[in-house]
Each structure stands twice: as C-alpha cells, then as structure tokens.
Amino acid sequence: MELINGLDVDNLRSRVLQDTLQQISSATVSRTACCVICLGDITEQCQAQPCKHNNFDYLCLLTWMDQRANCPLCKAEVHEVWHDPGLNGEHTKVYKVSERTKASDNSSAVDRTRDNSGWVARGQPFENEAIRRRRFIYQNNLHSHHVGSNRRQPLDSRHQEFTPELVKIDPAIRSRARTWLRRELQVFVFLNCDGNPEPGNDPDREKRPSRADYLVEYIIAILKMVDIQGSAGQAENMIQDHLGRRNTQLFLHELKAWLRSPCETLDAWDKIVQYGDEDCNQN
C-alpha cells in the first residue's frame, strides 16, 4: 500500500478532517456544528463510542460505518453510536455497530450534499460575469491551456511549481489558494445548502459558515498533505464526494493552473488564461 507522508489512505483522510476541523474551529465565531464527513450542518448529532468524537451527522456516520468501523477523526474502533439525547442529556438511543446491515435504500453522505443532475442549475441574477464564465467552463468541461515561461521573463512573472511542503510553510500560497477557492466554489450551486433564506429570519444562520466555507478549508488541508494531481489520485478521491468526479478533475486542473501562475489577482488570471472554446475566451 502506498504511503503519503507516512500515512495510508484512511489515515490520510483522517488527518485532513482533523486539520479542517481545527482550522474551522479557530476561524469562526459561530459555534454551529459542522459534520466533518459531509462538511454540512449537523441535523442529528451523534457520538462515536468509545472515543466520544461527536463532529458527525448521524446519517453520515452510519454511512461511514458501512465501509469501516473506525472513527473518521481518530481511527479508533467504534463499537456504538449514541444519538437522540434525552431531557437529562443522556443518550436515549444506542446503535450497535456490529449489528449494522446494509439496506439497499440507505442514502449516502454524497447524496446528502450534492445533486449530480442539478449542479449546473441557473445562477442567481446578481452573479457577476466571472462566475457565469466559470460555470460555462465546467458545463463544457474545458481545461485551461498550459502557459509556459522562459528564462527571459522576470522571476516574478514566471510560472512556479508548488508542493505540499510549500503550502504548509508559506501563508502566501494558502492565501492565494483561498482567494481562488472562494470564487470557484460559487460555480456549484448545490453547495448553497441554505437556498435563499430571507434575511433576518435566523441571525445565527447568517453568521454560520456555508458548506463552501468548510470546503475551502478542507481543500487547503488536502493541499498541505498531497500533490493535488498525483498519480495515486488521493486529492481527487477526497474531493469528488462533494463535487463529483468529472467536476473534481477539472477543478483540480484549474486550481493547479492558478497556483502555478504568477498572477496576484483573479482579474489578472482571467485575462491570461486560455481555453479551447473561442466563446469562452471572448466572455
């Protein structure tokens, strides 16, 4: 089995989830719970036993248990899942993992978080032209052309390679990645799990980070651990649950192109990036 940073696939995913949770916890003032499996709101909280981690939605954790009886965060073996706390704070329902049977109608965490048939739904009227252009690129599966550099160019205008080690130690790279991710994830309308709630109805929800916000930190954690387009495909496997495989392949290609570019702003990148579709280049 191939190891990345001394970790196998399951432990790598666990480390990424831990890093994501730590970053989100330190960055947000809201205490609203986030499921570290689907990155969405927790609708029914539960607790893995005996490790007592409770950063999961009940449905997501049971789906996880279908594949492996280990905690997603610490990898400890899970014997029970506690949920539905009673009036005294005691868990009134206990699910025995060993008794789990795989029912054919179980819905996966992937199904909770995205609709494969509806990701290209029409955007909102207030979306700017850049978002509409980016959505066109995904709808038509257009990959940006490689733009090379040469020795005659100034150092600050050449394309640069990046590695997980550089992402870990260089906050400027992480900042550039977040800048691109925050805009790019607006392409995928299914990440807006709240729909369009009326302002003022739920003050806590207005402060709450969206699923896209969580996904930004999730991808940053992945960038610090693996080559995003490595031959083993770890990054693709961890992100495709949220975006779908085809979207993820293009997404990672575009993210790498942005991070390798010398551009400091998205506007500058939009002006130089080229695609095979003439209509896209003119938009």
Write the CA distances from 172 to 148, 219, 277, integer angstroms. Answer: 22, 16, 32
pLDDT at 269: 92
pLDDT at 9: 73
Instruction: Tell me how far apart the alpha carbons of residues 225 and 140 are, in angstroms, rounded to a whole number.
Output: 30
DSSP H/E element including 35: none
Rounded mean pLDDT of 259-283? 81
Q: For residue 156, is pLDDT > 60?
A: no
**203 and 262 share a domain?**
yes
Q: For residue 63, is pLDDT > 90?
A: no
- Residue 253 falls inside a structural domain: yes
**216 and 144 share a domain?**
yes
The last residue of a domain, from among 107, 140, 155: 107
**189 and 89 share a domain?**
no
Rounded mean pLDDT of 31-48? 76
- Residue 249 falls inside a structural domain: yes
Q: For residue 98, is pLDDT > 80?
A: no
Composition of the chain by helix, strand, coil, percent to 5: 45, 10, 45
**42 and 159 share a domain?**
no
Looking up residue 49, the CATH number of its domain turns out to be 3.30.40.10
**209 and 252 share a domain?**
yes
Q: Which residue is associated with the tokens 């060993």?
A: 98
**146 and 236 share a domain?**
yes
Q: What percent of the chain has pLDDT over 70?
A: 66
pLDDT in tens, 133-150: 999 999 999 999 976 554
SS3 195: coil
Confidence of residue 13 (pLDDT cuts 50, 70, 90): confident
- Residue 1 falls inside a structural domain: no
Rounded mean pLDDT of 96-108? 47
Confidence of residue 105 (pLDDT cuts 50, 70, 90): very low
Contact 164, 224 (CB under 8 A): yes
Confidence of residue 38 (pLDDT cuts 50, 70, 90): confident
User: Tokens at residue 223, please?
Assistant: 């960038």
pLDDT at 118: 35
Contact 229, 252 (CB under 8 A): yes
Domain count across the chain: 2
**219 and 96 share a domain?**
no
pLDDT at 97: 79
Q: What percent of the chain has pLDDT over 90?
A: 29
Contact 44, 60 (CB under 8 A): no
Write out the residue range of the structural domain in which residue 53 sits: 33-107
- Residue 149 falls inside a structural domain: yes
pLDDT in tens, 162-199: 899 999 999 889 989 998 999 999 999 888 655 444 44
- Residue 6 falls inside a structural domain: no
The neighbouring-strand residues paired with 45 are 57
- Residue 124 falls inside a structural domain: no
**205 and 94 share a domain?**
no
Q: For residue 120, is pLDDT > 50?
A: no
**214 and 153 share a domain?**
yes
Rounded mean pLDDT of 74-90? 77
pLDDT at 6: 58
**144 and 266 share a domain?**
yes
SS3 27: helix
What is the overall mean pLDDT for the chain?
75
**161 and 260 share a domain?**
yes
The last residue of a domain, from among 50, 76, 107: 107
- Residue 19 falls inside a structural domain: no
pLDDT at 238: 92
Write the CA distances from 154 to 38, 54, 64, 149, 181, integer angstroms. Answer: 43, 51, 50, 10, 27
**100 and 142 share a domain?**
no
- Residue 18 falls inside a structural domain: no
Instruction: Tell me how far apart the alpha carbons of residues 8 and 158 are, in angstroms, rounded to a whole number.
Output: 35
Which among 36, 72, 41, 27 is positioned nearest to 191, based on CA atoms? 41
Total residues found in the chain within this entry = 283
Q: For residue 115, is pLDDT > 80?
A: no
pLDDT at 60: 82
The last residue of a domain, from among 47, 74, 107: 107
Confidence of residue 248 (pLDDT cuts 50, 70, 90): very high
